[in-house]
Amino acid sequence: MPGRLGRAGVGTGLEALHQVYTSTQRLCKFYCYYKNEFLVSDPLGDNEKSLPLEKIDQLVNLDDCKKCFSEEIIDGIIYHETKGLKWFIIDDEIPVMFPLELRDVPQEKKFIKKFRDECKEMGITKPFNK
């Protein structure tokens, strides 16, 4: 249920729809959700840097990127578990990413109610957990 977001870019083929990052030669720069693999060493740490291209080639290829980006996410949650759960909803294909003071509590309550089991599994029981 977690969401994935792409970056607009120019080029040919798959690259016409999404920009390929120079550091990874893939459509994602940091993490491959499709393969559940980090593309960097020391994620979020002081020594974070892209893995060597040889290692990335072993983990994921552009065909994987194409399959991943061909999936359409209607509803979902973008979340991060470091230093407490941070999350945002994807509602009718639109990521809703506002700071805490601007978040729409009724919209989030409706979403949590609609996807109660999935949200509970991720530890989301009320709007904008802190």
Total residue length of the chain: 130
Single-letter amino acid, residue 130: K
Give the confidence band of 109 by pLDDT, cuts at 50, 70, 90.
Answer: very high
The pLDDT of residue 8 is 32
The pLDDT of residue 83 is 63
What is the mean predicted confidence (pLDDT) over 85-94? 83
Phi, psi for residue 114 in degrees, rounded to 5: -65, -40
26 vs 12, residue with greater confidence: 26
| Cβ neighbours, 10 Å, residue 62 | 14
Q: What is the pLDDT of residues 37-86, one digit of tens each?
A: 899 988 878 888 899 999 999 999 888 888 887 877 888 888 777 666 67
| pTM of the full structure | 0.52
The pLDDT of residue 62 is 84
The pLDDT of residue 101 is 84
What is the mean predicted confidence (pLDDT) over 87-95? 86
Rounded percentage of the chain residues whose pLDDT exceeds 90: 13
Q: Per-domain residue ranges for the chain?
A: 14-70, 76-121
Single-letter amino acid, residue 97: M
Q: Confirm if 56 and 39 have CB atoms less than 8 A apart.
A: yes
